Structure 1
Amino acid sequence: MALFVMILRKMVQNRWLVVSLFLGMLISVALVSSMPIYSEAILSRMLVKELETMQTERNVYPGSYWSKIAFDNQTTEQRQAVLKGLDDYMRGPGASGFRLPVKELVQERNTRTFTIFPENATDDVKKNTKRTARFASLSGLQDHIKLTDGRMPAVQPVDGVYEVLVTESGLNNFRTVLDKVLDVEDAKIQGKIKVKPVGVFEKRVDDDPYFRDPSLGSFNSSLVVDAGLFDRQFTAAGIVPVSNAGWFIVLDYAKMELRLVEDFTKTSNEIQAAVKKRVSAYQVDFTVPALKTIDQYMERAKQLRTLMWSLNVPVLIMLGFYMFMVANLIASRQKNEIAVLRSRGAARWQIVVSFAVEGLLLSGLALAAGPPLGMLLTEVLGASNGFLSFVQRAALPVRLTQESYLYGAAAAAVAFVMLLIPVLLATRTTIVGHKQQMARLTKTPLWHKLFLDVVALALAIYGLYAFDARMKDLKKLGLRADDLKIDPLQFVVPALFIVGAGLLLLRLYPYLLRLIYAIGRKWWSPSMYATLIQVGRSNSQYQFLMVFLILTIATGVFSASAARTINNNTEDRIRYGNGADFVMKAEWPNDKPIESPGGMGGPPTTSATVAPQAIHYLEPSFEPYEKLPGVAQAAKVFMKDKASFTVGDQSGGATLIGIDTDDFGRAAWFRTGLLAHPLSDYLNLIAGDPKAVLISKTLATQKKVKTGDTIWVGWDGVTSQPFTVYGIIEYFPTFNPNPPIGSVNAGDAETQSNAPMLIVGHLPRIQFQLALEPYDVWIKMKPGYDLNAFYKGIEESHISLVSIRNTTTDWNKAKNDPFLLALNGILTLGFILSIVVSFVGFLLYWILSLRGRTLQNGIMRAVGLSVRHMIGMLVIEQLLTSGVAVLIGIIVGNMASRLYVPNFQIAFNPSTLVPPFRVLFEGMDFVRLYATVGVMLLAGLCILGYMVSRIRIHQALKLGED
């Protein structure tokens, strides 16, 4: 107990260091524990969104589970036992195993099919009015239907007649009317059964997920009876044998989370096993709409976790340096005490245990508070709409998980070990060795002796080489990013480069000091001499601070560049792929034969015996597009994907684009720098000659075509016409020159036989000499246009559109992708943490350093240096250490960004990365970074200057006597 009290007193005595160390531990644990929380939350949201899209587009309720069994030669008792057992199972572990709220559990029963006739029908009537039907029942049906005619049937036979419900289509199918009795006849049914439709029903709510078949088409041959009556008369008594039964479980998929996916798939398999155990496998059927989407998201979950680790590695390394720096400061301040204890007989393990208890207390508190803080960080990440951009968005379904505490425990354990490393090193020193070390502040650091900077840089350069080779393989083979094995080193190399480059520049730092000293040795003032001597002789004293500042600043620069690069390149890819702000396709009047549905399930037939060879179109007016509200420019763009061409003895297929050069140049979006000259120059090149065309570099390389050659262009049913090649371009709006996904032809993209090819010509000539066919309308909007007014203008102009594509909508959809959300959120968090931690570490180090030099500063004041000169020395010292470290951090961060930010394109399919990935720097991000660093240095100088001004000579000298 006494040892514990002593440890607490020591912690109180060094409270600022202990608080700073705890802060680093807490942030590390929170950051690491937020990874599983965030990945689960964001993927849960995206899974629900994907399921909602599935319901909207396919009209299938994704939160449903349908299992069906069929009977063969079982007896009535056997069928009843199977149904009862499965009813109990579905109501119990079957439905509850999904761990989602059960909205409906529908038990469906059907008898075997039989023949029905009008009551007491003659043989002639039976021959002409023969219809098939079956009895059916659904549990809870009355709560989900409304009667359009008639009444609800009785729950038991009335005078031997079964009253039933039918749909409107079923009533027509049976060719009868309500309240008319029908006879059931079948060789396998004993006795005579009579039925009477008494009511016509339809769904009470159109989008009610209760109904497995939203169209109610499965009821066209069904006579629906009360569920209780069905069980008594058909299931138990076997008057009409039960042919099949089904269980339709309707789950609230809006509550689906990633953690429940495993339970969903597991329960699905368990239900299938339970059903097959009671009925043979060939007599069962299962339908689970959500399983395919869920399987895809399990793969995305793995990719997202990998991506989160790769993004957080630089921040984690930075936090590790921070904790090691603080732990080293704690050990350094107590080295004298440790050396005295060792000289008086204390064992190393006893000293280490005292520090271990302190570390356990701090890491335990960090583990307790870290995951809840990580949950708060996740909520901040969920509100990110871009780098350092936040919006009001529905809260993510965040929760603390066992996995988050496991991650947090691992981070706390690493922090604990990092605390003990400097202590273990300090316990090796005796009192004599400690005094010797204090007199030799120029000791060479361990990383300097082992050349760890060179090793880190070598690994980083290897990682860059491996990534470039991988990207070339992916592009030339037309593969997806996950088709080749990912090298885990790819996610560490940016951090290795930052560390290696920073340490390498620090290796050269002493030579810079010597150069500065040599340049002005004849003119330096005494204060400048003193500062240069202090920094030069105590070089190792500043190493950790400088490395730490380099890491934090470089990480901030890297995070800012990575976020802006990925966001802007994704937006560029969408704009390039669409071509303009809006792309519209209108309905053109034509003479295409009208198709009529074939009879008796046959193929569709046309009104004409022989279809015409070509379809003739009537071009609608273009003027309404130009007059739509907010339109700055509209352009006609004709695209023919399967055009054929011949040049010399070469032929092939290409995409043909027809444009009006002036309108197209004003309406299309095209990134600068993609071509050797601006796109407008190429458009002007062909503007004067109607026969002029531009061709893609892939076409020119594969078919050995050069400018000035004549190329014949046409397509099926259209006679080829000659054009002249005026220019060769590598990129053009919407054109992707990369080989399609799935290609396995090796070689450069331009020389592959499957690389896409392009021909760009004049629309008037194509329409006049080839054919007049529908074109797209590309529209560029004015800044700040009103979207609602634009859509209203389309409606009022009576433009009949087949499709419309909104680039802004596509970009907003892309920003909600889990990968972009994770990228923006994590990089924003990394940037903010870098700034906060660097500020705290900077102040902590310099305040403690200045307190440790109180005697030295007091002596300088005693020999005549004024406060102004003391502050000047402090400023110079800051510039030579912190200032140089910040400058190196900026340089290293920029270099790391340019070299390694392109690695993030591995998260996309390389074949779709058009235009090419380019590293971007946003000026405002660096203004924020440099302003923050400037404020940090200025605040630190002010605090340190205040401390220097408060030094009392007599106190400093008294301290020296003590």
Structure 2
Amino acid sequence: MGGIFRSFPTAFRIAVRRLNGNRRLMAAVAIGVVLAVALMASTTIYRNALQDLGLQTDLRRVSDAELDVRILNAAHGLSGGLADESFDTIDRRLRIPSEFISDTKHSLTTATFFMTEVGGVPPDEDPRDRARVLWFEAVREHIELVEGQWPDPTPAATPDQPPVIDVAMGTEAAASGGFSIGEVRDIHASWRDDARPIQIRVVGLVRPLDYNDRYWGVRRDHFHVPVEKTDAFAFFAPRSTLIDAMAGYMPELRARLEAYARVDRSAFVADDAGIAAIRFRAAFEAIAKEIERTRVETEIVNVLKDYETKEFFSSIPLLVLTLQIVGIVLFYLVLVSTMVVDRQSGEVALLKSRGAGMGHIMSISTIEGLILVALAMGVGPIVAREAIAFLGYSPAFEGLTGGTRLSVELTGEVYIYAAIGAALSFIALIWPAWRSNRSTVVHHARSTSRPEDKPVFQRYYLDLVVVAVGALLFFQLQESGSLVTEDLFGGLQQDPLLLIAPAVFVVTVAVLFLRLFPLLLSAFGGVARLLGGASTQMVLWHLTRAPVQPGRLALLLIMATSLGMFGGTFGATLDKSFDDRAAYQSGAPLRLADLRSSGASADMLADDLAEAPGIDRVSYVIRQNASFSRGPLDVTDASVLGVDPESFSNVLWYRDDFALDDVRELIDRVTAPEFEVEQIVIPADATYVGMWIWLPDTSGSIGPSLRLQDSQGRYRDVRLIGLPRSRGFGGGELEEGWRFLYGVLKDGSGGPHIGPWTLQNISIRSGGNANFSGSVGYDSIQYTTDTELPEDIINVGFRDSVIIESFEQQGRWTVFTDTTRAGALPDDARLSTAQARDGEYGMSYRWNREVRSGVPRGVRLIGPDAALPVIVSRDFLVEAALDEGQLALVGMAGVYIPMQIVGAFDLFPTWDPEDARSLIIANRDYLSYRINRNPATLGAGTPNEVWIQPTDEEG
């Protein structure tokens, strides 16, 4: 008999005959093997398909203007070849990510000039015509010459003689400014009074072929008609005109240097996204290091970084579920293979009794397994590919694929995963055969006549070891709270032990079931003997004597059910995790951030949103950068969030584990004490505001202004004018004494300006000798409703006016208290009879050299000085070496505000703990008052975010 096994063809024929003889069971086995291989192959197919699709979707969601790379230096020198050197540096560094960049263009835009007719002098004040000269690389390929010719390069110039340069301009701008071919204008340097003007001659009129082309970047001031007072006419000229002619005449001329690199979306592959981000970051850091004061504007690095984070977290559930599904499929293979082997056990025992060895019998089983595995390797990857591609038609992917098939391909990695599935399947098929082939005819006869012995893992209590391992992994997972851990350098990584934890939990349930199943059957059998009939007793008796096969089937059902439960709960948990992460980043169901509202107050924003549909509750928030310093080299950076506690609590998304205390109780702590500031009102029908100022005899400069707040809470500075044009109030032009200076109430940037207004402070900015010491006098702040002013207003004042502040009341004004780290300015402001002009008293204001040059000086109305109550992130306490209850003098927007720490939190929505900045939360209204009562940057203390809770229908 042994001779028939000596040749492979014979063994192969026997294996095929056995497969055919058990074709029904073997069909189930074949399906299981194909399923295992397909599942393993689909893991990488699905991941690769989603990676590429996800990356391209993320890239498409970002506009060209945000994705493309804009390298900008706002004030770059042109003389001495500086521009050429910088462009060469940029081009060299952009070669690092060159495979992801399709094209790079350079441009130069000069500083602003004042433009007049030939021989004209620029006005002292706006409105004034402005001009900039531009050079764009390859611009002639993107414009149409409508009239005239393209300007020729202007010869190099010297500082002794201003050049006459030929330029081209947009047709609409030319029509608006009254330009025609051959028109000549003077352009005067806005930064110099002593230089003769450059002359420009318009020789061509042009218009863009496609102004939406990515070539033009994000700016839209190349052809437009100037509207605002700071807008400028744009004139195109050759590169040598700017560098050789204009910079040759004015070596100090600066220009906005730009390089615009177009990002090629199609060049990105999901597997190389991390490498691409590293290359872009390396190029940007090198450029910023080699070219001072250069910034890079692009979202490409953030897009790639966010994609990597999302891909990392999305791969975890796929891997966990795949491990469990494949595990169940392998168990199914073992179960079915065991049934096949049991049917063949008599034949195997007979062959062994006639001299067949284990090797002979195993060779047949091995060939059977190889045939099934080979079939699965050929069919499984194709099944996986078609199944994954078909997902593109499903509603879940329709928004990404447009209702078409997913783009998938079979790569080497796919077949590696398929081979792993095939190898596991082969082991699952061979293992029962190997165990069965060890038995003899005696063993076979005994197994059919009496119950099987307990498995080895039960006899030696190895199942309890599995239970202990499962408990340990459960404890570890509970402690970490995530399947993700940090590596040695703080990066995220997948913990393999935690990843297999769900599969271990399923195995734990399985071994416990196998241990308890016979006991349960015995218990049910005892109950059946007392209460059941004969048939019930016979069934339970049979199950009790041979519990293995029923136990395996029940175990398969339990494992499949547990997988379904795990998939459902894990999916829900994952969805909630993604929802929480999105909510944490937004802070509210809807958040409008980075508003450019020109100092709009909360009342103005509320009026704008009053008629907006779908809004249930809303809160207006201030977000500003700040810093706390304990010394020159010990600075803690922070972001300050100014909120209205009542409305903010109603829209904020929060979790209880972000802080030890309840969030609403924490936010209520920043409620500031009610305060009132004395009101000096200018009515809505007023046209001008003015005051008498005693000006000293000084060669320095003094620039006075009044800070006003309108009825909607918006702040503005009204500059007081009236003196002849000068760098300041020069003593060489006017004798010391009283002068009437005035400001226009309803004109100026940021309009419309609608009263009534309330006066906040009087400030002056000093320069020259006046920086060191000086004095002025104030008297009779007043307004008028007249529309025309006297010609000699500087000496006579308004014709008909109402005085709103006569400086007769003591204790009404104080010097600025928040403009220096040391506290109140060391200046002297007092009411004095010697400084009076109209009444008994006037205000005398004196300053000295103890404060650095350029610091705003002045007086403000008396108001509350209590520290601002704040809650802070705990890392701020650590970095600043502070504790709750302590005071911190925090600098922001040009002022220093004392803040008292009344609470702390670990996490807060919209704040990234990995960011270099800590977070401080303060009362919005009191914060705005403390900032804007001083001459801080306008708009700094006004809301720039809107947090919205939509209605149920809209949300």
SS of equivalent to 1:97: helix
> Does the aligned pair in 2 maintain the 1:581–1:808 contact within 8 Å?
no
| Structure 1: distance between partners of 2:670 and 2:292 | 56
Partner of 2:342: 332
| Structure 2: distance between partners of 1:696 and 1:422 | 57
SS of equivalent to 2:65: coil
Partner of 2:322: 312
Query: Displacement, 1:32?
Result: 2.5
| Equivalent runs, 1:335-354 vs 2, <5 Å | 335-354=345-364
Partner of 1:97: 99
Whether 1:562 and 2:583 are equivalent positions in the alignment is no
Q: Which amino acid in 2 is paired with 1:178?
A: I
Q: Which amino acid in 2 is paired with 1:258?
A: A
Could you list the per-position Cα deviations for residues 694-720 of structure 1 after superposition, in whole angstroms to 9, with x for gaps in the alignment? x995489999xxxxxxx9984266379
> Does the aligned pair in 1 maintain the 2:616–2:950 contact within 8 Å?
no
| Structure 1: distance between partners of 2:592 and 2:134 | 51
| Structure 2: distance between partners of 1:435 and 1:699 | 73
Partner of 2:508: 500
- Say which of 141, 146, 150 aligns to 2:147: 150
Partner of 1:448: 458
Could you list the per-position Cα deviations for residues 749-785 of structure 1 after superposition, in whole angstroms to 9, with x for gaps in the alignment? 9x99413999xxxxxxxxxxx99999xxxxxxxxxxx
The structure richer in helix per residue is: 1
Could you list the per-position Cα deviations for residues 197-246 of structure 1 after superposition, in whole angstroms to 9, with x for gaps in the alignment? 5434454434321234543569989975799x99xx99xxxxx9xx9999
| Structure 1: distance between partners of 2:586 and 2:96 | 47
| Structure 1: distance between partners of 2:376 and 2:902 | 57
Query: Displacement, 1:411?
Result: 1.8
Query: Displacement, 1:366?
Result: 2.2
| Equivalent runs, 1:416-427 vs 2, <5 Å | 416-427=426-437
> Does the aligned pair in 1 maintain the 2:353–2:441 contact within 8 Å?
yes
Query: Displacement, 1:295?
Result: 2.9
Question: Structure 2 vs 1, CA of residues 72 and 33 (structure 1 numbering), >3 Å: closer, same or farther?
Answer: farther
Partner of 2:526: 518
| Structure 2: distance between partners of 1:74 and 1:713 | 56
Larger Rg: 2
Please give the root-mean-square deviation of Cα atoms over the aligned residues, in Å: 6.8
Q: Which amino acid in 2 is paired with 1:495?
A: A
Partner of 1:296: 306
Partner of 1:881: none
Query: Displacement, 1:290?
Result: 0.9
Question: Structure 2 vs 1, CA of residues 214 and 355 (structure 1 numbering), >3 Å: closer, same or farther?
Answer: farther
SS of equivalent to 1:18: helix
| Structure 2: distance between partners of 1:86 and 1:674 | 51
SS of equivalent to 1:715: coil
| Structure 1: distance between partners of 2:149 and 2:906 | 64
Could you list the per-position Cα deviations for residues 898-931 of structure 1 after superposition, in whole angstroms to 9, with x for gaps in the alignment? xxxxxxxxxxxxxxxxxxxxxxxxxxxxxxxxxx
Partner of 1:931: none
Question: Structure 2 vs 1, CA of residues 13 and 573 (structure 1 numbering), >3 Å: closer, same or farther?
Answer: same
- Say which of 672, 675, 683 aligns to 1:718: 675
| Structure 1: distance between partners of 2:88 and 2:400 | 55
Query: Displacement, 1:168?
Result: 7.1
Query: Displacement, 1:543?
Result: 2.9
Partner of 1:431: 441
Partner of 1:258: 270
Partner of 1:26: 34
Q: Which amino acid in 1 is paired with 2:437?
A: T
Query: Displacement, 1:432?
Result: 2.9
Q: Which amino acid in 1 is paired with 2:461?
A: F
Question: Structure 2 vs 1, CA of residues 299 and 807 (structure 1 numbering), >3 Å: closer, same or farther?
Answer: farther
Question: Structure 2 vs 1, CA of residues 25 and 41 (structure 1 numbering), >3 Å: closer, same or farther?
Answer: same
| Structure 2: distance between partners of 1:194 and 1:623 | 52
Whether 1:414 and 2:564 are equivalent positions in the alignment is no
Among the aligned pairs, what percent are the same residue?
A: 19
> Does the aligned pair in 1 maintain the 2:484–2:493 contact within 8 Å?
no
Whether 1:463 and 2:460 are equivalent positions in the alignment is no
Could you list the per-position Cα deviations for residues 920-949 of structure 1 after superposition, in whole angstroms to 9, with x for gaps in the alignment? xxxxxxxxxxxxxxxxxxxxxxxxxxxxxx
- Say which of 23, 31, 35 aligns to 1:15: 23
Worse-matched range after superposition: 563-572 or 250-259: 563-572
Question: Structure 2 vs 1, CA of residues 757 and 323 (structure 1 numbering), >3 Å: closer, same or farther?
Answer: closer
Could you list the per-position Cα deviations for residues 375-430 of structure 1 after superposition, in whole angstroms to 9, with x for gaps in the alignment? 3443466677789x999867654443333332222222222222222222223223
Q: Which amino acid in 2 is paired with 1:25?
A: V
Partner of 2:905: 755
Query: Displacement, 1:536?
Result: 1.3
Partner of 1:859: none
Query: Displacement, 1:551?
Result: 0.4
Partner of 2:212: 207
| Structure 2: distance between partners of 1:85 and 1:63 | 15
Question: Structure 2 vs 1, CA of residues 133 and 594 (structure 1 numbering), >3 Å: closer, same or farther?
Answer: closer
> Does the aligned pair in 1 maintain the 2:617–2:950 contact within 8 Å?
no
| Structure 1: distance between partners of 2:103 and 2:458 | 70
| Equivalent runs, 1:267-416 vs 2, <5 Å | 289-379=299-389, 396-416=406-426
Whether 1:543 and 2:551 are equivalent positions in the alignment is yes
| Structure 1: distance between partners of 2:606 and 2:277 | 53
Partner of 1:178: 181
| Equivalent runs, 1:66-215 vs 2, <5 Å | 97-98=99-100, 105-108=103-106, 136=135, 138-139=137-138, 141-146=139-144, 149-151=146-148, 153=150, 165-167=168-170, 178-179=181-182, 197-215=202-220
| Structure 1: distance between partners of 2:375 and 2:343 | 23
| Structure 2: distance between partners of 1:208 and 1:97 | 21
Could you list the per-position Cα deviations for residues 244-294 of structure 1 after superposition, in whole angstroms to 9, with x for gaps in the alignment? 999755344267441352674587599999x99xx9999999876412321
The structure richer in strand per residue is: 2
| Equivalent runs, 1:592-631 vs 2, <5 Å | none
| Structure 2: distance between partners of 1:265 and 1:584 | 28
| Structure 1: distance between partners of 2:82 and 2:877 | 58
Question: Structure 2 vs 1, CA of residues 269 and 7 (structure 1 numbering), >3 Å: closer, same or farther?
Answer: farther
| Structure 1: distance between partners of 2:482 and 2:537 | 55
Question: Structure 2 vs 1, CA of residues 563 and 67 (structure 1 numbering), >3 Å: closer, same or farther?
Answer: same
| Structure 2: distance between partners of 1:284 and 1:772 | 37
Could you list the per-position Cα deviations for residues 64-114 of structure 1 after superposition, in whole angstroms to 9, with x for gaps in the alignment? 5879999998999x99xx989989x99xx999834xxx8x53554779999
SS of equivalent to 1:178: coil
| Larger RCO of the pair (alpha carbons < 8 Å, separation 6+) | 1
| Structure 1: distance between partners of 2:257 and 2:609 | 59
| Structure 2: distance between partners of 1:344 and 1:179 | 115
Question: Structure 2 vs 1, CA of residues 177 and 498 (structure 1 numbering), >3 Å: closer, same or farther?
Answer: same
Q: Which amino acid in 1 is paired with 2:672?
A: W
Question: Structure 2 vs 1, CA of residues 809 and 361 (structure 1 numbering), >3 Å: closer, same or farther?
Answer: farther
Question: Structure 2 vs 1, CA of residues 554 and 755 (structure 1 numbering), >3 Å: closer, same or farther?
Answer: same
Query: Displacement, 1:552?
Result: 0.7
| Structure 2: distance between partners of 1:283 and 1:572 | 39
Could you list the per-position Cα deviations for residues 537-576 of structure 1 after superposition, in whole angstroms to 9, with x for gaps in the alignment? 1112323222211101121122223334554686699899
> Does the aligned pair in 2 maintain the 1:29–1:366 contact within 8 Å?
yes
| Equivalent runs, 1:808-847 vs 2, <5 Å | none
Question: Structure 2 vs 1, CA of residues 29 and 142 (structure 1 numbering), >3 Å: closer, same or farther?
Answer: farther
Partner of 1:782: none
> Does the aligned pair in 1 maintain the 2:590–2:950 contact within 8 Å?
yes
SS of equivalent to 1:754: strand
> Does the aligned pair in 2 maintain the 1:578–1:807 contact within 8 Å?
no
SS of equivalent to 1:210: helix
> Does the aligned pair in 1 maintain the 2:183–2:201 contact within 8 Å?
yes
Query: Displacement, 1:297?
Result: 2.3
> Does the aligned pair in 1 maintain the 2:337–2:432 contact within 8 Å?
yes
| Structure 1: distance between partners of 2:902 and 2:387 | 48
| Structure 2: distance between partners of 1:272 and 1:637 | 39
Question: Structure 2 vs 1, CA of residues 474 and 7 (structure 1 numbering), >3 Å: closer, same or farther?
Answer: closer
Could you list the per-position Cα deviations for residues 470-493 of structure 1 after superposition, in whole angstroms to 9, with x for gaps in the alignment? 349999x9x9x9878764333333
Q: Which amino acid in 2 is paired with 1:97?
A: E
Question: Structure 2 vs 1, CA of residues 546 and 622 (structure 1 numbering), >3 Å: closer, same or farther?
Answer: closer
Q: Which runs of 5+ in 2 are unaligned?
A: 1-8, 123-127, 156-163, 188-197, 225-231, 246-250, 624-640, 678-870, 885-900, 909-923, 929-944
| Structure 2: distance between partners of 1:300 and 1:252 | 22
